[in-house]
Each structure stands twice: as structure tokens, then as C-alpha cells.
Amino acid sequence: MQVLVNSNHSISVTSDLEDRIKATVETELERFDDHLTRVEVHLNDQNSNKSGPQDKRCQMEARVKGHDPISATHKAETLDLAINGAAEKLNHALGHALDKLNRH
């Protein structure tokens, strides 16, 4: 599974941040590895340099082999919380969608 990290102009994606994101995605979505081609991660700081409640946003989009992409978004006060929240939501969404596909 390939993990691609994108961000808007207000977030600088360092190699350390990219490594943490990839590790989180790979750990959280490991059980779906055979079904996924890639996961795109989009980071956004909605208030730019100003702080605010839940101004960090992480959207993850999983590309499932032979099916439409599945997306999850989470907003939080820190990037790490937003990334972890989006990964958990995507895990649940993939579990639900793939379970549904396997039953049919």
C-alpha cells in the first residue's frame, strides 16, 4: 500500500511528520493491505497561523482495488489528533464497506 501525503500552504510536511503519518496509516489499516492500492492523506490548517479549536483537519482517502475510494475526515486541535482520528474513522469505514462487499 502506497501512502501519499499532501498539505496546504500552511502546513510544512517534514520527513519526520511524513514518517509518522505513514506509520499511523500502515498500523491502522494493515488488515486491509491486500485490498488497497494507496491511501492519500490531505492535511489542512484551517486557521493558518492562528490557533483555534479543531482547526487542524486530516482527510484520508483509501483507493480500494476495483471499487470507489473511501474517505474519512477528522478535525482536532493538533495534527497528530487529526491524523489518528482520520485513520480510526477510515479503519471503521473500510471494515464496514469491505464486509458489505464480501457478503454480496
- Average pLDDT of span 44-63: 83
Is the whole-model pTM more than 0.85?
Answer: yes
Tell whether the model's pLDDT for residue 99 goes beyond 60. yes
pLDDT at 47: 74
Q: What is the mean pLDDT of residues 23-27?
A: 97
- CATH architecture of the domain formed by 2-102: 2-Layer Sandwich (3.30)
SS3 percent helix, strand, coil of the chain, rounded to 5, is: 40, 30, 30
Mean of pLDDT over the chain? 91
> Per mean pLDDT, which range of 21-25, 54-58, 61-65 is the poorest?
54-58
